[in-house]
Amino acid sequence: MGQPNGDQVMQNNLVLSAVLALAAMIGPASAETITFGDALAGALPKEFVSALTGTGTAGRWEVVEDASAEGGQALAQLSEDTTNYRFPLAIYMPTLPSDLEARVRFKAISGSVDQAGGVVVRLQSAQNYYLARANALENNVRFYRVKGGRREELAGANTRVTAGEWHTLSLRAQGSRFVVSFDGQALIDARDEAFSSPGKVALWTKADSVTRFDHIEILPLDATHP
């Protein structure tokens, strides 16, 4: 067989570029864990962008030292704006498969209006996503659909959420089914069909919640993770 000509090489490169772009858009097919031990303190890691649902000032997300966190550092939301309908987001930028489980470890530090931490999946924009959150002032866990910037509760459960301690919160999305677990215990099993496309994962807080997160686990639900 002869060597490919210039047009064939260009066409092959275009096909390869399209495949790589598609892979980047869909995101990793294997599990990954994001930690902040090696991140630059005092700044938002480069893989994240800050966004806001609702009103009030933007969140102030920074990597801070925390001896009890994995790697000795955590990503914290530090703004104490008390606006009630204010939901700062730290969005992890890769676009990920629609069927996955996202787990975070968080610690509520302070807040007079709220002491909340949450994890977001299938984020299409700062106004459209699914959210699981836990609140140390209310001692409950809630599952929400945020559509067009409007937060709608789909299900909830009461459980003790202590401030100043690390907790795990996970949101599993598979088709129209969503399971929310807190500290390893499944509390919510709900269904919704508003968002089915691949999207992004994000960290979430509310109002004046000062909250720390020390890692995010992302587990795509495939043959390896049924």
pLDDT tens digits, residue range 25-43? Answer: 444 458 999 999 999 999 9
Spatial strand order in the sheet of 199-204: 48-54, 86-96, 199-204, 116-125, 128-135, 140-147, 150-158
Cα 24 to chain centroid distance, Å, stands at 18
Between CA 128 and CA 142 the distance in angstroms is 17
Closest CA to 44 of 110, 93, 106, 85: 93
**pTM (2 d.p.):** 0.85
More confident position, 224 or 51: 51
How confident is the model at residue 30, as a pLDDT?
Answer: 84
**pLDDT surpasses 50 at 12:** no
Q: What is the mean pLDDT of residues 50-64?
A: 98
**pLDDT surpasses 60 at 1:** no
Start-end of H helices in 5-84: 6-26
Binning pLDDT at 50, 70 and 90, where does residue 2 land? very low
137-195 confidence digits (pLDDT tens): 999 999 999 999 999 999 999 999 999 999 999 999 999 999 999 999 999 999 999 99
* Per-residue tokens: 212: 């720390």
- Residue 7 CB-density burial (10 A; 0-12 exposed, 13-18 middle, 19+ buried): exposed
Between CA 40 and CA 47 the distance in angstroms is 12
How confident is the model at residue 71, as a pLDDT?
Answer: 94
Residue 68: how many other CB atoms lie within 10 Å? 12
Between CA 153 and CA 146 the distance in angstroms is 9
- Rounded to whole angstroms, the maximal C-alpha distance in the chain is 74
How confident is the model at residue 26, as a pLDDT?
Answer: 46
CATH of 30-220, one of 2.60.120.560, 2.40.110.10, 3.60.10.10, 3.30.70.20: 2.60.120.560
